Amino acid sequence: MALTYQAFFQHELEKAIKSEIQRLKDNLVLAHGTFDFAAYKHQVGIITGLQRALELAEEAEAIANGDESRRG
């Protein structure tokens, strides 16, 4: 099955975002003693933003595939 460039790009972008989320989570767990509260909140905010980006990508893909019920 051949992927179009857009499908390949989307797949790789989602994979990179998920990898970054996991890296940031691991960093929070392994370095919990070295973060002050502001840095912790910042890292959690980045993770939350990346997770929201994945949700929006899924929503956009559903709309592009004809699922109008997901339109906001």
Closest to 14 in 3D by CA, of 43, 42, 46, 51: 51
Q: What does the alpha-carbon distance between residue 10 and residue 20 come to, in Å, rounded to a whole number?
A: 15
Instruction: Delimit the domains of the chain by residue range.
Output: 35-66
Half-sphere CA count of 43, side-chain side, radius 13 A: 19
Residue 21 pLDDT exceeds 70: yes
Average pLDDT over residues 7-29: 93
* Beta-carbon contacts of residue 72 (< 8 Å; ≥ 6 apart): 59
What mean pLDDT value characterizes the chain?
87
Average pLDDT over residues 4-33: 90
